[in-house]
A = this chain, B = another copy of it.
Amino acid sequence: MAATLHDVAAVAGVSIKTVSNVVNDYEHIRPSTREKVLKAISELDYRPNISARSLRSGRTGVIGLALPELSLSYFAELADSVIKEAEKRNLVVLIEQTGGGDRDKEIKLLSSPRLQLTDGLIFSPLGMDSSDVAHLNVSYPLVLLGERIFGGPVDHVTMKNVEAAKAATRHLLDRGCRRIAVIGAHEGELVGSAALRVQGYREALDAAEVPFDESLLGYVIEWHRLDGARAMREMIASGVQFDAVFGLNDTLALGAMRVLQEAGFRVPEDVSVIGFDGLDETRYSLPTLSTIDPGRDEIAATAVRVLVERIKARSEPMKGEPHEPDPFEPHQYRAEFSLQARESTAVA
C-alpha cells in the first residue's frame, strides 16, 4: 500500500540507498539527483517506515513520560509542557499513568516492554522512595522528576522545594501571620514533596523565631481537593487557632479555601491562604490564590534536553578519552521558582 524506498528509487531511477541518503540529508548528493528524488517522494507521497528505521538504527523518535495521573492538574500541565518541548525537537511523547503513588506499578513500569519503542523515559514517581534506588538502574536513558528519590544513578530534574516553601511561609509571616496552618502533610514521611515543603516551612518559622506547633499540621493521604477540604474541616473542628493556611499544593489550598469560606472565615481578611504549583486555575479562584510557581516549564525543558543528550551520547561514537564508560556523571538540575502574590494573601 504505502510507498517504500524501493518504489521511490524505481521512479527516480536511482538506487534505494540514494533515496535513503536524500531523506536523511546526507551531504554529498548532486543537486539534480536530490531534486529528482524529492520529486518522486512527493509524487508517491512516500513516508519513512518508522518501525523499520527503528529496527535498523535503534532510534524511534519517541520518548516516554510516566506520571501518576493526568487528571491531577499539575501533571496535566507538566505533560503539556513536555509535549511542547518534545515537539520542538521533533519527538513524540508516549504517556504512561502509574496511578496515584502506586509503588509496585511504578517499579513494574520501569521494566515494561511497553517502553520498548521509546528512546528514553522521563519518570515522575510518587510511590517509590530512596530504598528503591536500585530499580533505576535501567538499560535506557532515564531522567527522573520529583522529590521522591535523591542521589539515584540517573539525571534528576527537580525544584527548590525547601527554599520555595520557605519563601511562601516567609511571605505569610511578612504579612503579620503567626499561626500558619499547613494542609497536606504526610504522616511520618521522610522523603517527598510534603516532607521537603514542611521542612521549608519550619525553617522559615525558625528564622523568624516563631514557635512551631505540631497541631497546625493537617495530614492527608492524597493531594486532591477533597483531601484539602477534609483536613481543613478537621482542623477547624479541632478548635486550633490559626491566621493563615499554607496548602502544600494548589489543589489542597483551593479545597481548604473553600471550606474556610463555608465556615465563615474571610480570605484574606481573617485567614491568608497560599498554595504551591502555580496552576493556571489559581488565577481564577475567588479570591485569586497566591502560589509558588516552581518553574514547571523550565523543568520540562530541562528534562527533555537532558534526555535527548543522553540518547545522543549513547549512540554516538565516544569522543575523547574512551576509558570513561559514561561521559557524564548523573547530574541534578534544580529549576528556579517564583512567588505569585495574589488576593488570598493581600493585606487589607
- Seen from chain A, the residues whose Cβ lies within 8 Å of a Cβ on chain B are 1-2, 47-52, 54-55, 60-62, 69-71, 73, 76-77, 79-80, 83-84, 87, 92-97, 113-114, 116-117, 139, 225-226, 229, 254-255, 257-258, 261-262, 280-281, 283-286
CB contacts (< 8 Å) of A87 on chain B: these are 97
Give complex CA distance A52, B77 in Å.
Answer: 34
Determine how close the nearest CB of chain B comes to the CB of A181; give it in whole angstroms.
18
Closest to A57 in B: B51
Known: A51-B60, A258-B284; 19 extra A-B contacts, CB below 8 A, are A2-B139, A47-B113, A47-B116, A48-B113, A50-B113, A51-B52, A54-B117, A60-B117, A70-B80, A71-B77, A71-B280, A76-B76, A92-B94, A93-B95, A229-B284, A257-B286, A258-B285, A258-B286, A285-B285
Pair A92/B114 contact, Cβ less than 8 Å: yes
Pair A1/B139 contact, Cβ less than 8 Å: yes
Determine how close the nearest CB of chain B comes to the CB of A278; give it in whole angstroms.
12
Determine how close the nearest CB of chain B comes to the CB of A266; give it in whole angstroms.
12
* Total copies of the chain: 2
Give complex CA distance A117, B95 in Å.
Answer: 15
| Candidates B80, B83, B96, B284; contact of A92 at CB < 8 Å | B96
CB contacts (< 8 Å) of A50 on chain B: these are 113, 116-117
Pair B117/A284 contact, Cβ less than 8 Å: no
CB contacts (< 8 Å) of A52 on chain B: these are 51, 55
